[in-house]
């Protein structure tokens, strides 16, 4: 398996830890389709897309294509003065022929990284997922060791179906133990 091939993790959503949000921040759900511009700005700032137009197109095709669901599942992390600091989606997808929750598009704007906002954002998304699903998955990259470590601490487990996936996870665990 190539090192940049995605790997997957599963969570049963039974035990979700608490993690307080620092003062000066709050969560809100997507209110209207125009807020997709804020989402596009966040995911472009974090390097997921080369420009906002591509990010906005992805928002439109993937999230806003079902706006009623997006309004219940796209979470924004904002400052008390209204700046957008992060986003996560408590989305859904097919897993082994059933629809389950999907932790998706977890992003913290660079200006707000390093101040312990990722943990409460993920917890908020997991709690949102639990409202609609009994289990959830996520997709990440083997090189995203800090994120994988965090996901493991939150109760996600490696999803291994093939020999290539087992090899990729063995590599990830080797790298994690070196840290």
SS3 string, 87-152, reads EEEEEEEEECCEEEEEEEEEEECHHHCCCCCHHHHHHHHHHHHHCCCCCEEEEECCCCHHHHHHHH
So where are the chain's domains? 7-178
pLDDT for residue 3: 58
pLDDT for residue 91: 97
Q: Which residues, given as ranges, of the chain have pLDDT below 70?
A: 1-4, 179
Instruction: Give the other-Cβ count within 10 Å of 154's Cβ.
Output: 18
DSSP structure class, residue 35: G
pLDDT for residue 178: 85
pLDDT for residue 25: 98
- What's this model's pTM, rounded to 2 decimal places? 0.92
pLDDT for residue 1: 44
pLDDT for residue 166: 94
The dotted CATH code for 7-178 is 3.40.630.30
């Amino acid at each position: 398996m190539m090192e940049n091939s995605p790997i997957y993790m599963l969570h049963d959503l039974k035990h979700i830890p608490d993690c307080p949000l620092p003062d000066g921040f709050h969560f809100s759900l997507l209110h209207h389709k125009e807020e997709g511009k804020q989402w596009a700005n966040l995911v472009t700032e974090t390097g997921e897309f080369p420009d906002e137009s591509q990010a906005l197109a992805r928002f439109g095709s993937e999230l806003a294509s079902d706006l009623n669901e997006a309004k219940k599942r796209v979470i924004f992390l904002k400052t008390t003065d209204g700046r957008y600091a992060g986003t996560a989606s408590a989305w859904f997808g097919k897993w082994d022929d059933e629809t389950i929750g999907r932790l998706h598009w977890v992003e913290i704007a660079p200006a707000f990284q390093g101040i312990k906002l990722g943990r409460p954002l993920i917890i908020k998304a997991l709690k949102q997922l639990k409202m609609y699903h009994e289990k959830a998955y996520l997709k990440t990259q083997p090189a995203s060791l800090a994120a994988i470590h965090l996901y493991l601490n939150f109760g996600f487990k490696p999803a291994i179906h093939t020999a290539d996936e087992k090899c990729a996870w063995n590599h990830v665990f080797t790298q994690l133990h070196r840290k």
